Amino acid sequence: MFPFSFEWIWDMDHVVFMGGLWYALTILGIGMTYCIIKAAIDACRGNDEHHH
Amino acid sequence: MKIDRRSFLSFLIGGAAGTTLSPLTWKLMDDSAIWTQMWPWTPVPEDGEASYVNSACSLCSGGCGITVRKIDDRAVKIEGMKGHPLNNGGLCILGLSGLQLLYGPTRVWTPLKRVGKRGRGRWEKISWKGAVSEVAETLGDLRKKGQSHTAGIISGSDRGTVPRLFDRFLTVYGSPNLMRTSSIIDSYELTLHLMQGVQALPGFDFENADFILSFGSGIVDGWGSPVRMFRANSTWCNTGGKVVQIEPRLSNTAAKSDKWIPINPGTETALALGIAHVIIKESLYDAEFINYYSEGFEDWKRFVLDEYGPDSVATITGIDSATIIALASSFARASKPLAICGRGQGTTPGSLNECTAVHALNALVGNINKKGGIFAVAEPDYINWPEVEMDARAAVGMQKDRLDGAGSKKYPFSRHLLNRLPQAINSGEKYPLKALFVAGANPLYTMSDSKAVKKAFDKVPFVVSFSSYMDETAQNADLILPNHAYLERYEDIPTPAGMPKPVIGLSRPVVKPLFNTKHTGDVIILLAKAMGGNIADAFAWNSYDECLKETLGYKWRVMVEKGFWSHPDFFVQTHEESFDTVSGKFEFAPKETGSLKQFKPVKIEGDKTNYPLLLIPYDSIRLANGVVGDPPFVMKSVDDTVLKGTDVFIELNPKTAGEHGLREGQLAMLSTPVGKARVKVHLFDGIMPGLVALPRGLGHTAFDDYLAGKGINFNELIGPVEDSVSGLDAAWGIRVKLAKA
Amino acid sequence: MDSALIPRGVKRCSLWQFLLFISVVGAVLLWGVYAMLLCWIKGLNQTNMNDYYGFAIWIWADLAVIAVGGGAFFTGLLRYIFGKDELKSIINYAVLIGFICYSSALLILAYDIGQPLRGWFIFWHANVHSMLTEVAFCLSCYFGVLTIEFIPLILENRQIDRVPFFHHLSHNMHEIMAVFAATGVFLSFFHQGSLGGVAGVLFGRPFAFREGILIWPWTFFLFTWSAAACGPCFTILITKITETVTRKKLVKDSAIELLAKISGWMILTYIIAKTIDTWYWATVTAPSLGQTLMDFYSNNPLYGIWILFAEIVICGFVPAAILITKKGRKNSVALWIAVILAVVGVCINRWVMVLQVMAVPVMSFDYWAMYFPSWQEIATTILPVAYGIILVGLAHRYLPVFPDESELNPIETLPAEEEETVEPPVDLEQELKPAGA
Amino acid sequence: MKHKKAKKYGMVINLDKCTGCGSCMVACMAENNVPFRKDESDKLLSITWMRVYKLTNGKPFPNTDICYLPRPCMHCEGQHEGHSPCVTVCPAVATDYNIETGIVSQIYTRCFGCRYCMASCPYKARYFNWWDPVWPDGMEKYLSPNVSPRMRGVVEKCSFCFHRYQMAKEKAFMEGRRKLKEDEYQTACTQACPAGAITFGDLNNPNHAVYRMVKPDPKHHGRPTNPNAFRLLERLGTNPKVYYLSSREWVRRVGDNYLKNESIAKKTVHQG
C-alpha cells in the first residue's frame, strides 16, 4: 500500500493502481476537509441564509 | 439537561473518533494479527540438533531398513534406509507412519491387570515384578498338575531370537503348543518340503526374472516384502520384464501388469495345470531339468495331458483356450519365467494343491534354485543356543499332541495350524488350553470367523498379551505385559520370506522407552528365572540385549554399523545339491499332495441358492491388516470409495448391481453363512460380475478413534476351510447374499 | 416520545409499535450475530464450505448485494453528473440502500475470511495484480463515498440540523456532492468490474475464464454494466416494497419511471452483450480448452442449461422488454415483475459466477461438487438483511429520506382520518401523532 | 547447451511405475507436519498436499483399466514466470513465486484465509485449515521443527519441500559450495516412493534426470517433447512444473480435456 512496504516495486502496475487509489482518496480527503472547514467558518459567522 | 446530554454525547463520539484515529488502534490491530500468527494452541515444534539413526522396520515381515531423523531426543521422521538391499531408500505407507504408533494414543503404558469382566476395558496398573510372578505362579501351578502342555503361545513368527526364546521357554517348560500366524509361507514351506525334500523358505529372484506369472499375488498390493516388490515391479518397467496377473478383480497389481487375465475365483490350480498341459504338449519344458533332476514326471505328465486340455480348463476357469495356449507359450519361452501364488498379500495359505501346481510350472521351465527363479532358502543359522535340558515334566508335556493338530497323523507335514485352534478349543475334543501367550500377533482381529475365535479365547482362563498397543487381543487379555515399541528396542529382524538371499536387519532403539514397558525378550528371561530349575538354567543370559549380542556374534558389529547383515558369500546351489527327497530329485507328484487325484476345487462355505454371489477379500497396501492397524496418516490415504464415515464399500460390477437394484453409494446388507454386515455399494467395472469384494484391514474395535469402529472386519464374514492335505486354511472366499439395507 | 426527532410534515407510527418491529427484526439480527460469533470463535468449520467450495453463499451474497447496491452509484451518476433532477425524489433512498448493501458486503467479508484479525493485510501487503485487492480498495473507498453521501441526510435530522455546524456541513457537502459522486462512479466502475474480474481472470477454470482487454476480462465490464443496469431496479423494488409496507406514496412516479426507463435500456444493452459474451465463450473459448458448453451444464443434479436460459431470457430480455416500453413502465404489475426479474437475474449471474464456478470439475477425472450452506451460513447471510431493514426503519422514521413524502402525503388534507403508518405490520392501528407535537 | 542461471525445480512422475501405494502422501504428511482428524473420509475437507487420484478408462469388464496419478502442487509457471493462477490472485502476497527456484510458496502467517487461490487452482492442490490442528496427547513430539504447523484459517499446499532446499543450500554454503548436486535437494515424496516413480530436479539443467526424461521445450513454456510425457491441463496455459509419463494413451488423454473427436496429438496451447 505504501512505497516503503517490501511488496512495493516501482513498476507501472503499482504506479497506476496505487496512483488511482491515492488520487481518489485525495479528492475525498480534500473535499471533506473543505466542507468541514467551511462549515466551521460558516457556523462561527452565524451565516444562516440558505435553506433547502 | 439537554446541553449536558449533548456535551456528553459529543464527548463520547469525539473520544471514540479520537481513539480510533490514535496510534493505539493501529497498534492493537497489529498486535492482534501477530497474536493469530502464534496462537498458543498451535504447537511450535522445538528445534534442536538433528541426527539420524539406522534401524529396521518390524511393522510387517518385510524387514525394510529405516533411517529415523531425530531432533534432540525426539524422533521426527522415518525414512527408508539408503543402500539397504531390500528397500534402498523407499518405504511403504505404514512404515512411514510409524511415529504415529510410537507416540500414538494406543500405546500400553505399563503392565496392566484386568479388573472386572474380560474385554470391558477396565485395568489396574501393576508392577513388572508383580506381573512376572503372577505369570510364573500360574504356569508353575499348571506344571505342578502335569498340565504343562495346556499352555500355548500364539506368535507372529517362529524366526528370530524373540520367537525362538519363546520356543525355548515352552520346550523346557513342557508344551508343544507354539503356534505361528499362518500365511502363504506355510504352503510354500510344505511345497518345498514335499517336492524338494527341504525345510526351507521360498526365495524369489524377482529382480532377475523377466516373466512373472502371478496367480493372484498382490505384487504391488503388499505381497512378500512390499517395498522390495514395488522396486522389482519398477525394475521390470525398465528392463521390459512382463507380468501376467491372474485374478477375478482388477487389483492394483492387475492394473500394473502387462496382462490381466480375469479368472473364475478358486480355479487357479486348474489353470496352472492347463498351462503345464500346453507346455508339455508343445515340448516347451526344460528337458534337461526334467530328465536329470526330476522324478515322477511321466505319471504327472499323463495326468496333466489327460485331464487338463485347454478346452476343459477354459470351461473351469472362464479363460478362453487361445489365451491359455498363448500364456503357456509366452511363459515357457521367456528366458527367466517365474510363477508365484498366494492371493493378495498372501495372508491366507490357500490350497496346497494350488501351490504345488504353480511350483510345478517353475520346475517345468527348470528355474529352481537358479538366477531369476525360485530358491529354497535355508533357515538362518545364526541362532545356535545350547540344547535345553528338559526335566521329566517337560518331556511328558512335549510328548503330547499339539492342540492344533500340526504334525498329527492327519496332517503330518504341517508345522503350525493356528486356523484349527479355535475349533480345537471350542470342541474340547483333545484337551483344554489353560494359559495362552500372544506375542507379535493379534489373532482376535486377524483370524477368520471372529466369533468362533472370540468364543475360543473366552474358554482360555489365562490370556497374556505382550502387545505394545491396545489391540483387540490385548483388550481381551487378563494381563498385558507391554513390549517396548519397535523403535525403542533391539531385535533381530530375520530375512523376510521371499528374499532369495539372507538379509538380517537390526532393529534398535531410536528413542529411549517412553513408558514403563519391558522388552519381551527380557520378560521371558525374567519369567524363566522366576520359575527356576531347568527352566532358569536354559536362560543363562542376564538380559535380552546380552542374549542378542552373544547370538549374533561377529555379525553384531556389522549390523550396528550398517543396520543390517547380508550374506557376503551367498551362492546358488546346483541342482545336484538342491533336492533332499528320497529320490534326490525334484518330485513332480509327491504322493501326499494328491496331485494325481483329480483337481478338486476348494469347497467354500455356503450354498448357491441361498447365497448366489461370491465374496472375496481384497488387500490394499493402504490398509494394514496384520498386527497393527492403520495409523491416522494411513487412514487419511484411504479413498472415499473404500470408506466413507464409518461405512465400508463393497465393490460390485455395475451389471451385478443392476441385477440387485443397487446404485452407487447405496446401503446394502451383506450376509454370509458366517456373519452379516451393513455396507455401501461402490460400482467398479474391474470386478467380475457375480463377485463382491470387501477390503481387509478395516472394522477394528481396538486401537484409537482414528481407526476403531470404521468399516467391517472381513474375518467376521468368513470362516476357515481346511485343506485336506495340509490342514491349512484354504478359503479364498465365501458365498454371500446381498440385499438392499 | 421521540416525536422531536421525527421529520416535520410526516406521520410515523408510535414508538412502541416501532420498537416492537425493531425487536422482531432484531431477534433475527441477533441470530445472525450469534452465528457470526460462532464463525469467528470456532472458525469456518461452522460452514459447509470445503476445499472445493472455498467460495460459497457468502461470496455470492457479497457479489449480489454489491450488484444490487449499484443503484446508488448509477442513480448518483444520473442525478449529480447528468443532472437528472427528477431523481432528487429517490436519490436519498438510493444512497441509503447502497450504504446498507456496501456495509453488508464489508461485514460479510469480515467473517468470510479465515483470519479476520489479519483482514487488513489486504491493504497493507496489497498485491496490485489481484482482482480481489482492487475489489477491497475500491469497495472500501466507495463505502467511504457512500458514507459521505449519507452523512448530509443524517445531518438533516431535525435535532442535528439545529446545530449550526452540522447544518452548514450538510449544506456544504450538498454543494460539492457532484465531486464525491464522480469519485464514487470512478471507484464503483472499478470495484464492480473487478468483482467480475475475480471470476473472469481464473484462467485455470474454463467455466469462469473470459478473454478481455489488457488486464480486464470481459466479465469486468459485464459486471459493471449489469450492476448499473440492475442496481436501479433494486432501488425501485425496495422503494415499492417500502411504499407497500408504509401504504403511502413516497417517491414521485416521474422519478421511478425515468429510472426504470434508463434501467430498461441498460438491461437490454447488457443482456445483448452478455449473450455475445456467452456465445463467444461457448463456441470459441471453452472448445479451445477442450470443453463444450454442455460439459458445464450436465452430469450434475442442479446446474442445467435452464440456468442460462433463466438468466439471459427470463431475467434479462423479459425485464428489458417491459422497462423500455412506456406501457410496461406505467403498468404497476408489469413494473413489479420487471424489477423483480432484473434483480433475480443479476443474482443468478453472481451465483453462477461464484458457486457454479466452484462446482464445475476442471480435471477430466474430477467430479461435480455440490454444496448446501449450513445454518450458520444462512443465518449470517440473513443477518445483513435484518440489519438493512432496521437501518431503513430508523432512517425512514428519523431522517427526511423521501423529500417528496410530505408533498405526496399532505397531513393537512387528512386531519381527521386515522392513518396507518410506517413499517410495522400494517394492520396495527395507530394513534396519530402529528409531527412536531 | 548452457542452462539459465535460475533454477526451475520440477517433478516427473512415471505413471507406469506408480502403484498407487500412497507412500508419497504419507511421506509428505510426515515431513510437513500435516494435521489429521478423526474422520478423513470426506476428501473435500482432508488436507493432502500430495493426493493420489485413481483414474479409470471407463470401459466395462474385462477391458477396465485403472491408473494412479499422484498430484502435488504443480508449481505453475503460467504464461510468464510468476504468472501462476494462484500467485496472481492472492490479494496479500501470501503466496509467492520464487524466481530463483520456480517454487510457489505459501506464507502461512501472511495468509488471511480469503481462499481466492483455492478457487483459482484447477488442480485443487490447495487446502484450507478449517479446523485448528490438534495432535493427540504426546503425538506432537514427532513434529518437525523445519516446517511450522499451520494455524486454523489459512491455506496450505505442497511446497516442493522448500525447507529441504534451504537446508541443502545451507549445508552447501557451510562446505563452501555454491551449487547443489542433483541428489542434495529431493522432496520427501520423491525419496519415499518405493517404486522410484518420482524424479525431482532442475528442469533448466540438461544434466538432470527430469530434463532428460521429458525434454521440455523452452519455446512453449516447457511443454514436454517426449511423446509419452504430458502435463495436467496443458491447454489452460498454467504451465505446470510437474510432468507425467505414461505409455498408455488413455491415461495421457485423461490428463487434459478434449472434445469428442479431437485427437490427443493436437495440443493447442491456449493463450500461448
* Cα of B215 vs its chain's centroid, Å: 18
Q: What's the average model confidence in pLDDT over B550-555? A: 93
Query: So what's the pLDDT on residue B357?
Result: 93
> Residue B719 corresponds to which cell in the numbers above?
470362516
Residue B634 forms part of a structural domain: yes
Q: Which residue has the higher pLDDT, B117 or B595?
A: B117
Query: So what's the pLDDT on residue D261?
Result: 82
The band of A13, judged by pLDDT with boundaries at 50, 70 and 90, is: confident
CB contact under 8 A, D60 and B685: yes
Query: So what's the pLDDT on residue D90?
Result: 95
CA–CA separation, C119 and C110 (whole Å): 7
* Closest by Cα among B370, B375, B274, B262 to B331: B274
Considering the domain architecture, whether residues B510 and B529 belong to the same structural domain is answered as: yes
Query: So what's the pLDDT on residue B298?
Result: 92
* Cα of B675 vs its chain's centroid, Å: 23
Q: What's the average model confidence in pLDDT over B166-183? A: 96
CA–CA separation, B651 and B668 (whole Å): 12
Q: What's the average model confidence in pLDDT over B565-590? A: 82
Considering the domain architecture, whether residues B360 and B391 belong to the same structural domain is answered as: no
CB contact under 8 A, D112 and C358: no
Considering the domain architecture, whether residues B453 and B561 belong to the same structural domain is answered as: yes
Considering the domain architecture, whether residues B237 and B278 belong to the same structural domain is answered as: yes
Q: Which of A17-26, B10-19, B444-453, C209-218 has the weakest average pLDDT?
A: B10-19
> Residue C279 corresponds to which cell in the numbers above?
456465445
What residues contact residue B105 under an 8 Å CB cut-off, 6+ apart? Answer: B704, D136, D137, D138, D139
Considering the domain architecture, whether residues B478 and B557 belong to the same structural domain is answered as: yes
**Long-range contact set of residues B531-535: C-beta below 8 Å, sequence gap at least 24:** B531/B136, B531/B139, B531/B140, B531/B173, B533/B391, B534/B172, B534/B388, B534/B389, B534/B390, B534/B391, B534/B394, B535/B169, B535/B172, B535/B173
Helix (H, G, I), strand (E, B) or coil at C100: helix
Does position B459 have pLDDT exceeding 60, yes or no?
yes
**Tell me, what's the ipTM?**
0.92
What residues contact residue C207 under an 8 Å CB cut-off, 6+ apart? Answer: C286, C296, C356, C357, C360
Does position B86 have pLDDT exceeding 80, yes or no?
yes
Residue B215 burial (CB count, 10 A): 24
Q: Which residue has the higher pLDDT, B490 or C186?
A: B490
Residue B443 forms part of a structural domain: yes
Helix (H, G, I), strand (E, B) or coil at B76: strand
Query: So what's the pLDDT on residue A22?
Result: 86
The band of A11, judged by pLDDT with boundaries at 50, 70 and 90, is: confident
Between helices C332-351 and C218-246, what is the axis angle to 10°?
Answer: 140
Does position B548 have pLDDT exceeding 90, yes or no?
yes
Q: Omega into B720 within 30° of 0, i.e. cis?
A: no
Considering the domain architecture, whether residues B319 and B417 belong to the same structural domain is answered as: no
Residue D110 is nearest to which of C53, C121, C363, comparing CB atoms?
A: C121
* Cα of C74 vs its chain's centroid, Å: 12
- Answer whether D18's CB lies under 8 Å from D197's CB: yes
Considering the domain architecture, whether residues B691 and B618 belong to the same structural domain is answered as: yes
CA–CA separation, B250 and B151 (whole Å): 44
Q: What is the DSSP letter of D200?
A: E
Residue of chain C nearest B26, judged by CA positions: C120
Does position C424 have pLDDT exceeding 50, yes or no?
no
Q: Which of B393-397, C310-314, D113-117, D260-264 has the weakest average pLDDT?
A: D260-264
Residue given cell 521351465 in the structure block: B365
Mean pLDDT of chain C: 89
Q: Which residue has the higher pLDDT, B414 or B576?
A: B414
Considering the domain architecture, whether residues B216 and B311 belong to the same structural domain is answered as: yes
Does position B2 have pLDDT exceeding 70, yes or no?
no
The band of B723, judged by pLDDT with boundaries at 50, 70 and 90, is: very high
Residue B333 forms part of a structural domain: yes
* Cα of B736 vs its chain's centroid, Å: 25
What tens digit of pLDDT does each residue of C34-72 get? 999 999 999 999 999 999 999 999 999 999 999 999 988
CA–CA separation, C260 and C339 (whole Å): 8
- Answer whether B296's CB lies under 8 Å from B282's CB: no
- Answer whether B80's CB lies under 8 Å from B67's CB: yes
Query: So what's the pLDDT on residue C414?
Result: 47
All partners of chain A with 3 or more CB pairs under 8 angstroms: C
Mean pLDDT of chain D: 93
* Whole-number Cα distances in Å, B260 to B249, B255, B263: 9, 7, 9
Beta-sheet pairing, B123-125 with B151-155: unpaired
What tens digit of pLDDT does each residue of C131-181 get? 999 888 888 888 999 999 999 999 988 888 888 888 889 988 988 888 898
Does position B92 have pLDDT exceeding 50, yes or no?
yes
What tens digit of pLDDT does each residue of B430-458 get? 999 999 999 999 999 999 999 999 999 99
Does position D142 have pLDDT exceeding 60, yes or no?
yes
Does position B552 have pLDDT exceeding 80, yes or no?
yes
Q: What is the DSSP letter of B107?
A: B
Query: So what's the pLDDT on residue B145?
Result: 94
> Residue A22 corresponds to which cell in the numbers above?
491515492
Mean pLDDT of chain B: 93
Task: Give the best residue of C51, C295, C356, C376 to mutate against chain D (max D CB count within 10 A).
Answer: C51
Domains with residue ranges and CATH for chain D: 9-254 (3.30.70.20)
pLDDT over 70 percentage in chain A: 81
Phi, psi of C213 (to 5 degrees): -110, 135
Helix (H, G, I), strand (E, B) or coil at B93: helix
Q: What is the DSSP letter of B722?
A: B
Does position B591 have pLDDT exceeding 90, yes or no?
no
Residue where one domain finishes, among candidates B372, B404, B428: B372
Q: What's the average model confidence in pLDDT over C399-413? A: 82
CATH number at residue B174: 3.40.50.740
Inter-chain Cβ pairs, chain B and chain C, closer than 8 A = 12
Query: So what's the pLDDT on residue A52?
Result: 43
Considering the domain architecture, whether residues B354 and B390 belong to the same structural domain is answered as: no
Chains A and B touch (3+ CB pairs under 8 A): no
Between helices C88-112 and C218-246, what is the axis angle to 10°?
Answer: 120
Chains C and A touch (3+ CB pairs under 8 A): yes
Q: What's the average model confidence in pLDDT over D13-42? A: 96
Residue given cell 460558516 in the structure block: A42
The band of C7, judged by pLDDT with boundaries at 50, 70 and 90, is: confident
Give the structural domain span for B401. Answer: 112-184+381-566
Please report, as a single letter, which amino acid is at residue B334: A
Residue B194 forms part of a structural domain: no
Does position C436 have pLDDT exceeding 50, yes or no?
no
The verdict on C42 touching B (C-beta cutoff 8 Å) is no
Query: So what's the pLDDT on residue D122?
Result: 96
Q: What's the average model confidence in pLDDT over B724-731? A: 92
Considering the domain architecture, whether residues B264 and B289 belong to the same structural domain is answered as: yes
> Residue B449 corresponds to which cell in the numbers above?
470367523
Domains with residue ranges and CATH for chain C: 3-408 (1.20.1630.10)
pLDDT over 90 percentage in chain B: 86
Q: Which residue has the higher pLDDT, B730 or B4?
A: B730
Helix (H, G, I), strand (E, B) or coil at B693: strand
The verdict on C8 touching B (C-beta cutoff 8 Å) is no
Residue where one domain finishes, among candidates B312, B343, B372: B372
What tens digit of pLDDT does each residue of B329-349 get? 999 999 999 999 999 999 999
Does position D41 have pLDDT exceeding 70, yes or no?
yes
- Answer whether B494's CB lies under 8 Å from B380's CB: yes
Q: What is the DSSP letter of B388?
A: P
The band of C431, judged by pLDDT with boundaries at 50, 70 and 90, is: very low
* CB contact burial B71-102 (16+ within 10 A = b; e otherwise): beebbbbbbbbeebebbbbbbbbbbbbbbbbb
Residue B581 forms part of a structural domain: no
Query: So what's the pLDDT on residue B595?
Result: 55
What tens digit of pLDDT does each residue of B227-256 get? 999 999 999 999 999 999 999 999 999 999
Torsion on CA atoms C227, C233, C235, C239, rounded to nearest 10: -170
Residue given cell 531339468 in the structure block: B289
CA–CA separation, D134 and C197 (whole Å): 37
CA–CA separation, C311 and A48 (whole Å): 53
The band of A15, judged by pLDDT with boundaries at 50, 70 and 90, is: confident
| Chain A residues inside the 8 Å CB shell of C185 | none
Query: So what's the pLDDT on residue B594?
Result: 63
What tens digit of pLDDT does each residue of B107-126 get? 999 999 999 999 899 999 99
Task: Give the best residue of B9, B10, B29 to mutate against chain C (max C CB count within 10 A).
Answer: B29
For chain A, the residues whose C-beta falls within 8 A of a C-beta of chain C are 1, 5, 7, 13-14, 17-18, 20-21, 24-25, 27-28, 31-32, 34-36, 38-40, 42-43, 46-48, 50, 52
All partners of chain C with 3 or more CB pairs under 8 angstroms: A, B, D
Residue D85 is nearest to which of C121, C204, C289, comparing CB atoms?
A: C204
| Chain C residues inside the 8 Å CB shell of A32 | 148
Please report, as a single letter, which amino acid is at residue C148: I
Residue B165 forms part of a structural domain: yes
Query: So what's the pLDDT on residue C12?
Result: 87
Q: What's the average model confidence in pLDDT over B507-533? A: 96
The verdict on D116 touching C (C-beta cutoff 8 Å) is yes
Beta-sheet pairing, B435-439 with B462-465: parallel
Query: What one-character-per-residue DSSP string does D90-107 give?
Result: -TTS-EEE-TTT-PEEE-
How close does chain D come to B712, measured CA to CA in Å? 15
Q: Which of B635-649, C236-250, C418-432 has the weakest average pLDDT?
A: C418-432
Query: So what's the pLDDT on residue C428?
Result: 37
Does position D268 have pLDDT exceeding 60, yes or no?
no
What tens digit of pLDDT does each residue of B344-375 get? 999 999 999 999 999 999 999 999 998 999 99
The band of C11, judged by pLDDT with boundaries at 50, 70 and 90, is: confident
Does position B650 have pLDDT exceeding 60, yes or no?
yes
What residues contact residue C333 under an 8 Å CB cut-off, 6+ apart? Answer: none
Does position B10 have pLDDT exceeding 90, yes or no?
no
The verdict on B17 touching C (C-beta cutoff 8 Å) is no
Please report, as a single letter, which amino acid is at residue B741: A
Q: What's the average model confidence in pLDDT over D251-260? A: 93
**Helix or strand (DSSP H, E) at C394:** helix C375-398
Our count of domains for chain B comes to 4
Query: So what's the pLDDT on residue D4?
Result: 52
Considering the domain architecture, whether residues B351 and B468 belong to the same structural domain is answered as: no
The band of A49, judged by pLDDT with boundaries at 50, 70 and 90, is: low
* Whole-number Cα distances in Å, B174 to B402, B437, B520, B637, C96: 12, 15, 20, 47, 95
Residue B600 forms part of a structural domain: no
Residue B607 forms part of a structural domain: no
CA–CA separation, B648 and D153 (whole Å): 31
Q: What is the DSSP letter of C62?
A: H
Query: So what's the pLDDT on residue A47?
Result: 61
What residues contact residue D65 under an 8 Å CB cut-off, 6+ apart? Answer: B250, B255, B686, D56, D57, D59, D248, D250
Q: Which of B103-112, B426-435, B496-505 has the weakest average pLDDT?
A: B496-505
Phi, psi of B651 (to 5 degrees): -95, 135
Does position C432 have pLDDT exceeding 90, yes or no?
no
Considering the domain architecture, whether residues B460 and B504 belong to the same structural domain is answered as: yes
